[in-house]
Amino acid sequence: MFPDRRIKNILSHPNSLTLFRVAAVPLIVILLLFPSRFNTFIAALIFSVAAITDFLDGFIARQRGLVSNFGKVMDPIADKVLISTSFIMLASLGWIPAWIVCIIIGREIAVTGLRNIVAQTGKDISASSLGKYKTGFQIAAVIPLLIHFQHLTIDFQAIGTMFLWVALILTIWSGTDYFIRFRSLLRT
């Protein structure tokens, strides 16, 4: 129980959950600067909690009628910062190929640019189901890749690598889908 209702309201506000994802990023970076079985496990735990808030903030905002311009802008940015930073740190440790990270982050930047261009025309390219699967597989890849070390004879690096390849395919596929939809919107 929270002694002060204001604190409870702040912590359950969707924008606070979005900001938690942003705040989780430096913690993950610091932990991965000193990779050990303990630090990587804690980094994966922090990432997992932050990833869950991605679902919760949107759900809470819609349920309570708290959808805001701040949330609309910051929610996707927080997601991209969390996932991109994790991928960059994993590549810096040599745990995943840097070229895959370049494709994933490049796609995110390109699609964000397209969405901004389309938004200026008053139209919208909302997230497709492919984009949602892409995000899900990216998250599913990052968690075991962050754990990295074997625990209880489970090869988390191998599991994460398998999810990473699926995430890469979905990243390219969904990015192509966005560009095709963008072209058709410009024609209308």
Whether 17 and 57 have beta carbons less than 8 Å apart is answered as yes
CATH of the domain at 134: 1.20.120.1760
Walk along the chain (188 residues) and give the pLDDT tens digit of each residue: 455 665 555 455 666 778 888 899 999 999 999 999 999 999 999 999 999 887 776 666 667 666 666 666 677 788 899 999 999 999 999 999 999 999 999 999 998 888 878 777 777 666 778 888 999 999 999 999 999 998 889 999 999 999 999 999 999 999 998 888 887 776 76
Number of residues written out for the chain: 188
141: domain range? 5-187
Distance CA 131, CA 43 (A): 25
What is the domain count for the chain? 1
Instruction: Report the pLDDT value the prediction gives residue 40, as an integer from 0 to 100.
Output: 97
For the entire predicted model, the pTM comes to: 0.84
Whether 149 and 138 have beta carbons less than 8 Å apart is answered as no
Tokens matching residue 170: 């979905």
Residue type, 171: T
Question: What b-and-e string marks burial along 138-156, b requiring 16 or more CB atoms within 10 Å of the CB?
Answer: bbbbbbbbbbbeeeeeeeb
Instruction: Report the pLDDT value the prediction gives residue 68, as an integer from 0 to 100.
Output: 63
Tell me the angle at which helices 14-33 and 69-92 cross, rounded to the nearest 10 degrees.
Answer: 10
Instruction: Report the pLDDT value the prediction gives residue 105, as an integer from 0 to 100.
Output: 96
Tokens matching residue 98: 């840097």
Instruction: Report the pLDDT value the prediction gives residue 45, as an integer from 0 to 100.
Output: 97
